[in-house]
Chain A
């Protein structure tokens, strides 16, 4: 259901209504604040969507346990970053060994995606509109052409090409994304 465009909003709302409390409770019970919970849960949802789009959400596991697993991994990573205490570090050491490899891969990939998303935000408004309508809304070129008042589909196609190229060039220049990319390619 989550990939059906016209029902995305409803699906995300349902996920929040059903699981926000459980996930928030986990963060609160593990030295986090409600603000920490809000930040982490937002990322959990994004990773969940990404895993569904990649077909990594296994039907045999419940949504709740899946979201919980992502949340736990993200929070452990966050606590490690904070390095607030050695004891806490030791406490979560054991838990990290049990991390689902799909989940940890998706978390790592989301880091790269988030970086590219930041670069995407640096593009001009027109570029962002074209790329969003094409890759997210999945609208045909003809419709985007009418919607954004382009004189012809070819003009739009050229513009889209330039925009996408610009984003890729920005991404290529990023050492962080490049390193992750190398790792991913080595594991292929």
Chain B
């Protein structure tokens, strides 16, 4: 440094020099390159000191900003994530529904949903019932059994009543034989005596015997024909229930 000290240069930069001193210094600055350098270095150093604090402030702010942004990014849930959550929720419900269906579906629960056959009764006095029909109406199954041997194979209506009595008496194998026989005769005679009832009660007798494959096929047949009398008695869930029963049987 020359004979002008640092404090004087600082006072000059801060505008604190008396006017005479200022003129003297400015004259020296014009003539002395090293003094100009010293003044410039002082300016730079003072700036650098202030900038150092700014740099610390900026660095700290940037760290906090990036940290907050990272936190906000991790909290933000994109739309696809919501879709995934909904899908996961639905899948969970589906699994729960399947488990409930699996647990609650049983052979009994399915068979019990079938209606017992009711012989059509007319109002007034015109009703004339055969002995077989009369016994069925009175649920006199002993009498029905005693009459069974007397029923002609060609008496399709009475044969059908015997099959219904078998179902009521938990003799599904016998009911199946009669109903299938009636089905064959119908096709041979090109008739349709109780044909839709046969479809319906065959499913019941098959379920009672755990013949689920055949029951499934016969149920599919009804579900494919909206004009079938028993179409509205079933839904696709019944088909699933039969499949579950098949699965359970295999376990």
Residues on B with beta carbons closer than 8 Å to the beta carbon of A176: none
Q: Is B65 an interface residue (CB 8 A)?
A: yes
Residues on A with beta carbons closer than 8 Å to the beta carbon of B40: 181, 184-185
Nearest-CB distance from A160 to chain B (Å)? 10
- Number of residues of chain B lying within 8 A (CB) of chain A: 30
Q: Is A49 an interface residue (CB 8 A)?
A: yes
> What's the Cα separation between A46 and B47 when bound, in Å?
12
Q: Is B66 an interface residue (CB 8 A)?
A: yes
In the complex with contacts A168-B6, A171-B45, A135-B62 CB distance below 8 A: no
Contacting pair B41 A42 (CB below 8 A): no
B residues 1-27 touching A (CB-CB < 8 Å):
6-7
Q: Is B233 an interface residue (CB 8 A)?
A: no
Contact of A12 among B41, B45, B49, B58 (CB under 8 A): B58
Nearest-CB distance from B174 to chain A (Å)? 81
Contacting pair A117 B36 (CB below 8 A): no
Residues on B with beta carbons closer than 8 Å to the beta carbon of A50: 47, 51, 54
- Since A112-B44, A132-B53 are in contact, a sample of 11 more A-B pairs with Cβ atoms closer than 8 Å, ordered by chain A residue number, is A8-B57, A9-B57, A12-B57, A13-B61, A16-B65, A20-B65, A41-B62, A120-B45, A164-B45, A167-B45, A177-B44
Interface string of A132-156 (1 = CB under 8 A from B): 1001110000000000000000000
> What's the Cα separation between A167 and B40 when bound, in Å?
13
Chain A residue with Cβ nearest B58: A45
Tell me the number of A-to-B contacts counted with CB atoms below 8 Å. Answer: 98
Nearest-CB distance from A142 to chain B (Å)? 17
Contact of B50 among A135, A161, A165, A168 (CB under 8 A): A135
Q: Is B48 an interface residue (CB 8 A)?
A: yes
Q: Is A99 an interface residue (CB 8 A)?
A: no
Q: Is A33 an interface residue (CB 8 A)?
A: no
Q: Is B37 an interface residue (CB 8 A)?
A: yes
Contacting pair A42 B59 (CB below 8 A): yes
Chain A CB within 10 A, most for which of B40, B45, B46: B45
Interface string of A84-123 (1 = CB under 8 A from B): 0000000000000000000000000010110011011100
> What's the Cα separation between A172 and B55 when bound, in Å?
23
Q: Is B239 an interface residue (CB 8 A)?
A: no
Residues on A with beta carbons closer than 8 Å to the beta carbon of B37: 181, 185
Residues on A with beta carbons closer than 8 Å to the beta carbon of B69: 20
> What's the Cα separation between A30 and B6 when bound, in Å?
47
Q: Is A81 an interface residue (CB 8 A)?
A: no
> What's the Cα separation between A13 and B57 when bound, in Å?
10
Residues on A with beta carbons closer than 8 Å to the beta carbon of B106: none
> What's the Cα separation between A19 and B89 when bound, in Å?
40
> What's the Cα separation between A121 and B48 when bound, in Å?
11
Chain A residue with Cβ nearest B52: A117
Main secondary structure of the interface of A (DSSP, over half): helix
Residues on A with beta carbons closer than 8 Å to the beta carbon of B46: 135
Q: Is B223 an interface residue (CB 8 A)?
A: no
Residues on B with beta carbons closer than 8 Å to the beta carbon of A167: 45, 48-49
Nearest-CB distance from B239 to chain A (Å)? 57
Contacting pair B58 A42 (CB below 8 A): yes
> What's the Cα separation between A132 and B41 when bound, in Å?
17
Contacting pair B54 A131 (CB below 8 A): no
Residues on A with beta carbons closer than 8 Å to the beta carbon of B135: none
Nearest-CB distance from A4 to chain B (Å)? 13
> What's the Cα separation between A16 and B66 when bound, in Å?
9
> What's the Cα separation between A39 and B65 when bound, in Å?
14
Q: Is B110 an interface residue (CB 8 A)?
A: no
> What's the Cα separation between A184 and B47 when bound, in Å?
15
In the complex with contacts A135-B49, A135-B50, A49-B58 CB distance below 8 A: yes
Q: Is B156 an interface residue (CB 8 A)?
A: no
Residues on B with beta carbons closer than 8 Å to the beta carbon of A120: 45, 48-49, 52
> What's the Cα separation between A20 and B62 when bound, in Å?
9
> What's the Cα separation between A121 and B53 when bound, in Å?
11
In the complex with contacts A13-B61, A38-B62, A116-B44, A46-B36 CB distance below 8 A: no
